[in-house]
Structure 1
């Protein structure tokens, strides 16, 4: 499924038999969050962990009341507990080394290509864009 071309709400209805999802892990915000919330189940939860889109999660108090769902916001900052932050990043780096987590790489750019990369972010392709800051 591709979030830019496929209908997320329809796909979730197919997967859950129209019941909806119990938990939404929401790092994006904005339109993506609004679309995801259409599929939250009664008594579900949304964990708002970021606003990568630059827009907040549009919560509707009537929707929360009628579906009886819970919205929780979590903002983890390195200033809260630096030792924990270091431990988390170390754990993530180890998981990546072991191949337990991966990120599909889409397009690689040289450092001098950053302006072009920024322009292309308006309609990114699949995978994560990577900028090489040192020669290969």
Structure 2
């Protein structure tokens, strides 16, 4: 993969980082796991990838923030932003879904809350 958008950090990000292509980029957005992604400078040099920290918090300018959300909504409606869907679960399958979340998978898991 050419780009990793990482809001999690820790072991999850370290696993994702192994799949980063030569000349790729990792955008470190957050540390939901409680730990940042461990970056190895020698690995960065050998694979020539870039790591960027991104502070993604709302700005004090409400009009600018509203414009950004409007633009993102437009992009999503045009299909320019998509999320690959992995497995779709029924609401009654949530315990199984949680049990199966032991390793990152392709696509997002989706829970149907309405039959």
- One fold, TM greater than 0.5? yes
Residue 102 of structure 2: aligned partner: 122
Which has the higher Rg, Structure 1 or Structure 2? 1
Alpha-carbon separation, structure 2, partners of 1:82 and 1:107: 37
* Cα pair distance change 1:120/1:73, threshold 3 Å: same
Relative to structure 1, the CA distance from residue 118 to residue 69 in structure 2 (aligned partners, 3 Å threshold; closer, same or farther) is closer
Aligned residue pairs: how many? 109
Runs of 4+ in 1 over 6 A off after TM superposition: 66-70
- Shift of residue 76, structure 1, vs aligned partner: 0.7
Q: Does 1:87 align with 2:67?
A: yes
Structure 2 residue runs without a partner (length 5+): none
For residue 79 of structure 2, what is the aligned residue in structure 1? 99
- Mapped to 1, the partners of 2:100 and 2:61 lie a distance apart of 36
Please list the CA deviations of residues 53-94 of structure 1 after superposition, one character each: whole Å capped at 9, or x if unmatched.
Answer: x2412234x549x77986431121236555444433332222
- TM-score for the superposition, normalised by structure 2: 0.58
Q: Tell which has more relative contact order, 1 or 2 (C-alpha 8 A, sep 6+).
A: 2
**Structure 1 spans left out of the alignment, 5+ residues:** 1-7, 9-20
